[in-house]
Structure 1
């Protein structure tokens, strides 16, 4: 029976949430592209995703995970869904890694000529779906599983009606910075203007102090250890009539079995699926189509956010750095080599650049020297440059400073360290970076404006929407 891939992917992460949260693993979750209906066995697909999710969680003991999916078409026109599951931090020992790879049916492959010492690669096929699976352990860069499902007979379709919130305010209450920003970015794709709060107390103070023109049309609170359902009592009564209030909880939460629901809030299991957020947005559109219910048709101006350019020839590092940078409130773009970095700096004018040191053919040191020369000539706007490398030797640090870099970060990339360093070097580089970007762990977190669209994954094309047809550009997130 046909099934919706993005909904099934969301369901897979829902099943993993208890395990991830019990181990305090931070993660980001995204599912981009139009809705894709695949024929075949949904149970087999669920099994395929779950075994990979379990494998990744077992291989990262402490750190940060990325669950990333994208739908589209191959160059030959076939419908495709690609999943990348990545992790960085403290990895499991080689013995554990070998056991996981055997369980997944993956065989070790020779490392590529460009791989750093200690790189481990493996390849195989899913026993349930036959999809090709690739694995790479790249030392301090982290781990990556990549799998793609291609079906020439798949029904490929998009949402039938546009859903655009047109800058309407949405307020989120969640104490998990990574998950909160994932949700905020998805809402932005649907036209919402989200604000993030780390506590109900701060949310309530702001609600009582702001004017009617700034009140939200959507409120999403997320269950956590620091947010009990009892704290939400009476909150809905302070909001304008017609405000959508949602309390998102994990599957299996006791809240789902309570006889008395939270007054004024709809309960939903997190992460919210692409279709659920589309319905929420469509509900707002429906209210606006009824003149007697048009209570919140105002625009909201988004504050411009500091820009971060990630330069690395390693796909995994770009993926991890993009997710963590977005979580800290930056617009993020990426380049895979030195020449691409210089072109991006000229076109996009980042405030700070995370620069890999060991790249080919133009390494990070020479790229930085050229960047500084072009800045001296006035061709590129000034920016801070921070080295991001697995080489933490004193000699490399001195070489980075001599080339014109402003700082140095050692892999693996950890969120608190990145937050502190970017806040340090970005202070004073325009766009009020010092006043907002470093607040990722404060009570209220800023939301970065949507960065330039990322290039489609190699071999995967996103089809253009037909006139009057909306794409499902929203991705699944951790709430």
Structure 2
């Protein structure tokens, strides 16, 4: 008789998959970003099969994407005391192979044997019912989506609250830690970004003079350009209650000896690691005495961008890029939805696709400007986005303040937002 399947931590499995994909993605010239949102369940099933399935999908995304970004996002929700729903998305800014080839790659992987009903996008893989979909649009990108329900044996919610404890994140560029920034802010952290340890060291004197609040957590990105001597000095000058972490890629070791207070961890961090950091911070509460510079930011401090876009791939790519740039994001699927969304809650800016059904971007922009003229909406910038021959002059003539071309480029988008949002 076969023994019952083993119990395993689903969040750890997904984190390990992200860690395996990260070095290959960076070697391929990609910016790889991992985000985990939701509960932390232990589930029952064949861990090896699920690991291989997730790994194969990520490997497919990495191997077929030569430039741009690969976003790996996971959402895990405990439905009841006995099951959880997992939704995994691998969104690429490049176009991958078509759906049958992706499906064949999954079914042909070693140890994973199953059948695929391509008409409905469902696979049965060794007792695991998986819904697999792929959406690809020439010139825009690709999203692979995997969804399945797993039996839960026990679980904990991600409900730790750092109570606005300060976290200093040291990375160059700062956007390299943007996914970590969002994950910390969801847990109640206030974050400040520094490009170098020397930049963070300048804050120590202010704190010692009573003009700032010491951090409870300092995380530095351990890449070849990080000056470890400066980082060691920073670690030694911080109070011993501060958690100091060096985040390294899998398989990398520090190039020099570090102070004993430095905790070396593999990136990206698992949800359980972030919970442990948060709980430890709560045990060493520091009363704020003032703000450090740069001012720490919490989740509620982020500006909100409405993305009006009918293409599901572009929705995900735009959302992930904007989140990397430090914004919260809402989605509208056409011009009508964009206008109604703005009436319910005015955003700080709108990224408006030009070609959409029902009400296109130019018409929606004119409608929003009319509502603002009548005093029914506050002023906010509208930025047009299109791959069509529409010109920036045409966008401005219809009330838009900026214009970006598609497929979206993160640097161009960042520059346009910087110009429009003050």
- After superposition, the C-alpha distances for 1:226-247 in whole angstroms (9 at most, x for unaligned) are 1143442232221123111111
Inter-CA distance 222–126: structure 2 relative to 1 (3 Å threshold):
farther
| 1:397 Cα deviation from its structure 2 partner | 4.6
Equivalence for 2:175: 178
SS of corresponding position for 2:400: coil
| 1:329 Cα deviation from its structure 2 partner | 2.6
Contact 1:79 1:156 in 2 (8 A): no
Contact 1:174 1:197 in 2 (8 A): yes
Q: Which moved more, 1:326-335 or 1:123-132?
A: 123-132
Q: Which moved more, 1:215-224 or 1:271-280?
A: 215-224
Inter-CA distance 77–267: structure 2 relative to 1 (3 Å threshold):
closer
- After superposition, the C-alpha distances for 1:232-281 in whole angstroms (9 at most, x for unaligned) are 2232221123111111111111339x8x5543201111111100010111
Within 5 Å, give how 1:65-464 maps onto structure 2: 65-73=70-78, 78-89=83-94, 91=95, 102-105=104-107, 123=121, 125=123, 127=125, 129-151=128-150, 153-155=151-153, 157-159=155-157, 163-210=160-207, 211-212=209-210, 213-255=212-254, 260-288=257-285, 296-298=286-288, 302=297, 304-391=301-388, 393=389, 395=390, 397-426=392-421, 433=422
| 1:73 Cα deviation from its structure 2 partner | 4.8
Contact 1:59 1:97 in 2 (8 A): no
Contact 1:387 1:409 in 2 (8 A): yes
Contact 2:29 2:66 in 1 (8 A): no
Equivalence for 1:29: 34
- Give, in whole Å, the separation in 2 of the partners of 1:349 and 1:156: 41
Q: Which moved more, 1:23-32 or 1:71-80?
A: 71-80
SS of corresponding position for 2:384: strand
Q: Which moved more, 1:126-135 or 1:33-42?
A: 126-135
Q: Which moved more, 1:268-277 or 1:207-216?
A: 207-216
Contact 2:308 2:338 in 1 (8 A): yes
- Kindly indicate whether structure 1 or structure 2 has the higher relative contact order, using CA contacts under 8 Å at least 6 residues apart: 1
| 1:424 Cα deviation from its structure 2 partner | 1.7
| 1:220 Cα deviation from its structure 2 partner | 0.9
- After superposition, the C-alpha distances for 1:84-109 in whole angstroms (9 at most, x for unaligned) are 110104x46x6x99755542349896
- Give, in whole Å, the separation in 1 of the partners of 2:383 and 2:339: 15
| 1:344 Cα deviation from its structure 2 partner | 2.3
- Give, in whole Å, the separation in 2 of the partners of 1:25 and 1:183: 18
TM-score, normalised relative to structure 2: 0.86
Equivalence for 1:456: none
Contact 2:71 2:92 in 1 (8 A): yes
- Give, in whole Å, the separation in 1 of the partners of 2:369 and 2:180: 37
| 1:323 Cα deviation from its structure 2 partner | 1.8
Aligned length: 400
SS of corresponding position for 1:104: helix
Q: Which moved more, 1:416-425 or 1:332-341?
A: 332-341
- After superposition, the C-alpha distances for 1:154-177 in whole angstroms (9 at most, x for unaligned) are 2353249x5211111110111244
- Give, in whole Å, the separation in 1 of the partners of 2:47 and 2:31: 28
- Give, in whole Å, the separation in 1 of the partners of 2:259 and 2:375: 58
- Give, in whole Å, the separation in 2 of the partners of 1:342 and 1:76: 40
Aligned-pair RMSD on alpha carbons? 2.8
| 1:82 Cα deviation from its structure 2 partner | 0.6
The structure with the greater share of residues assigned to strand is 2
| 1:78 Cα deviation from its structure 2 partner | 4.5
